[in-house]
Structure 1
Amino acid sequence: MTISMERPAAVVTATPRLPEISRMAGVGTAVSDTSFTQSEVLELLDIDNPKIRSVFLNSAITRRHLTLPPADESGRRAPEPQGDLLDKHKRLAVEMGARALESCLKNAGAGLSDLRHLCCVTSTGFLTPGLSALIIRELGIDPHCSRSDIVGMGCNAGLNALGVVSGWSAAHPGELAVVLCSEACSAAYALDGTMRTAVVNSLFGDGAAALALVAGGGEAAPAGPRILKFASLIITDALDAMRYDWDRAQDRFSFFLDPQIPYVVGAHAEIVVDRLLAGTGLRRSEIGHWLVHSGGKKVIDAVMVNLGLSRHDVRHTIGVLRDYGNVSSASFLFSYERLLAEEVARPGDYGVLMTMGPGSTIETALVQW
């Protein structure tokens, strides 16, 4: 059976003007200092198992930013104890997060003194006080700045945060808020040579991304897209299919991905997108821009097939996976930054943001330029 990937011609319909929750005012990204090709990672970790090598080399990833443990006298890179990984997470999350935030504010035409709410997202380590407090101290942000932290929600958490901060923004019109996703995925690696960890180690990379939000403003409102609506779906039957929990054999935390998760996500993508568009008068064919989480080649393929999308529709998702790997909650904002750089979005265009993660959860948002 051949599945057509061509999208039907757009049907022009009279759509109601949806009320704006908030507006996307600027974006910025950052990565860690060192990057490696998949072949280089295999050699550095001395992986010779053909099945594990195949996982790395067939991942559709060319290069990722990683912070690997230093080599010992024999040239081998030993697994880091959990305490060292937590230290790594703190250092990388603050460093990348600070750079992404400053880049975002510059893109929004704002400065640190303009920031009124900072929401930090991470799932690659646990910090108390949270990442928001550390970033505020690191950059000398006004200590009266409102803040929040979203921890442990995984790759979908960027859109969870966007929903929460859009609500804060709507309640504080004209004030600047930022969602900052900082994921030090190198701090969540288990270098034990098993197939379970190989799937994770072949996929994730270090990265941070920040998105500025402003509500209201009338004619002075930023030129970015209007956030119109959110829709979520938690697939409770697949609650354990993606998880980060304690591995007693390794005496540390370890991430697990069920091999069936791409198909589970793909099978439910249509359900949540239809819910997102319900009541808007919009059809899927009228969505001009799709920004989907770079969850992995099989995940992207499954979403494409089930939503009838072309490779062009998800070109930025594919490109981010190729150049950075899966940077967890920050991935969709890397794609958004690339879309803006293309300068192809026009006033009136609609876009759908989609992220997937533990739960198993699919999060979506509808925006309009």
Structure 2
Amino acid sequence: MSNTKIVGVTKELPPYCRETKDIIPFVDFWLQDKDERFRRKVVKIFEGAAVDKRYGIMPIEDVFLATSFEEKNAIYVREAKKLGINVLKKALKKANWESQSLDYIITVSCTGIMIPSLDAYLINALDLRRDIVRLPVTEMGCAAGVSGILYAHNFLKSNPNKRIAVVAVESPTATFQLNDYSMANMVSAAIFGDGAACVLLSSEEDANGPTIIGEEMFHFKNATHLMGFDLTNHGLKMILDPDVPKTISEHFPEIVHPFLEKHGSDINKVDHLIFHPGGKKIVQTVDELFGSLGKNIDDTREVLRQYGNMSSATVLYVLERFLNKDIAKGEQGLVLSFGPGFSAQRVLLEW
């Protein structure tokens, strides 16, 4: 029996915040040379994205300024350090953990490039141990928050009495491409926002929190074209195939049911769905699939509304909402997210 407990989730938001209705005038200005129909279509995408507001590492004016990849990435690096340091400090304080008690640190981000990776800066800023094991996860996109939990569990399974922090910091606004008029760029601009989160996990006997009773990845074959980034001279250019919701829907039964069965559970035993809000269409797709089974994903929808899709950090915001609820002992939760590859990551929790 696993003894990995999720001790806590902490979130941290960047300083700038805008409601979608206040972003639309900037979109209009940006697309002023495009034809009327195209402009109207894009504004409709923003209005219908089910995102009321979002946060950013830079003011909205700067997002719509033509800056080089180098300049945008420099802002990403500067702000990712701040967010990462703040969220880890807050998480340790909340759990009453000394920074020296961490054995392992996993950092997750795909929206900028930093070498050394964020964890190196966290080691210095929080005076973490010299022998701490670090793992930076870059290329797993939106799924990486759950991937981080999965890696943490694998480490803790074989190492009793250890502590891990998984820190996710994302800034999709730093990847926004002004000269890309593709639908993928329009849709991602309408749904993405910036944010950071930290999950603390432990394999100590006396740790509190839900236990991880199962985890697994699921890889879709020949689907590498569905989601990701192209690295161009202007930066990271979004790849987002309109077929994503359909692909998820088609594979859904084989993603969920065999996994639950393998861990002695089934969908009727799962009380809580902790699902990554990739975007309105994916949320609707999953809602239809789960709704017919009498489950709701209200928390997922609410996180999308309040923050947008913050890539890997988003599902951790959903998880935080569940950790703040009064959940009865023995109830189960299924954590699920999708990312480039194309892949689905799943974690089964028991309170």
2:273 paired with 1:290: yes
Retained in 2: the 8 A contact 1:269–1:362? no
**Relative to structure 1, is the Cα distance of residues 290 and 141 closer, same or farther in structure 2, using a 3 angstrom cutoff?**
same
Retained in 1: the 8 A contact 2:290–2:296? no
For the aligned residue pairs, the C-alpha RMSD in angstroms reads: 2.0
AA of the residue aligned to 1:325: G
Indicate the percent of aligned positions where both proteins have the same amino acid. Answer: 25
Deviation at 1:275, TM superposition (A): 2.2
Given the alignment, which residue of 52, 57, 65 partners 2:47?
Answer: 57
Given the alignment, which residue of 258, 270, 273 partners 2:241?
Answer: 258
| TM-superposition CA deviations, 1:293-351 (whole Å, max 9, x none) | 010111011112223467962111111100000011111110111122232x1110111
Retained in 2: the 8 A contact 1:100–1:210? yes
Deviation at 1:193, TM superposition (A): 6.0
Deviation at 1:107, TM superposition (A): 2.9
Q: 1:153 matched to which residue of 2? A: 140
Distance 2:80 2:272 in 1: 29
Q: 1:208 matched to which residue of 2? A: 196
TM-score between the two structures when normalised by the length of structure 1: 0.87
**How many pairs does the alignment contain?**
342
AA of the residue aligned to 1:184: S
Per the alignment, in what secondary structure is the counterpart of residue 335 of structure 2?
A: strand
AA of the residue aligned to 1:233: F
Distance 1:309 1:363 in 2: 22
Distance 1:200 1:354 in 2: 20
Distance 1:309 1:22 in 2: 32
2:11 paired with 1:24: no
**Relative to structure 1, is the Cα distance of residues 211 and 190 closer, same or farther in structure 2, using a 3 angstrom cutoff?**
same
**Relative to structure 1, is the Cα distance of residues 84 and 310 closer, same or farther in structure 2, using a 3 angstrom cutoff?**
farther
1:27-38 residue pairs with structure 2 within 5 A? 27-38=9-20
2:106 paired with 1:97: no
Distance 1:141 1:133 in 2: 10
Deviation at 1:198, TM superposition (A): 1.1
Distance 1:141 1:87 in 2: 25
AA of the residue aligned to 1:316: D
AA of the residue aligned to 1:202: A
1:78-157 residue pairs with structure 2 within 5 A? 78-157=65-144
AA of the residue aligned to 2:335: L
List gaps (5 residues or longer) in structure 1: 1-18
AA of the residue aligned to 2:263: T
Per the alignment, in what secondary structure is the counterpart of residue 238 of structure 1?
A: coil
Distance 1:268 1:225 in 2: 28
Distance 1:78 1:126 in 2: 20
List gaps (5 residues or longer) in structure 2: 32-38
Deviation at 1:70, TM superposition (A): 7.0
Distance 1:68 1:43 in 2: 17
2:310 paired with 1:320: no
Distance 2:192 2:60 in 1: 19
Given the alignment, which residue of 226, 247, 261 partners 1:241?
Answer: 226
**Relative to structure 1, is the Cα distance of residues 139 and 268 closer, same or farther in structure 2, using a 3 angstrom cutoff?**
same
Deviation at 1:21, TM superposition (A): 4.8
Given the alignment, which residue of 213, 217, 223 partners 1:228?
Answer: 213
Retained in 1: the 8 A contact 2:214–2:263? no
Deviation at 1:354, TM superposition (A): 0.2
TM-score between the two structures when normalised by the length of structure 2: 0.92
**Relative to structure 1, is the Cα distance of residues 279 and 171 closer, same or farther in structure 2, using a 3 angstrom cutoff?**
closer
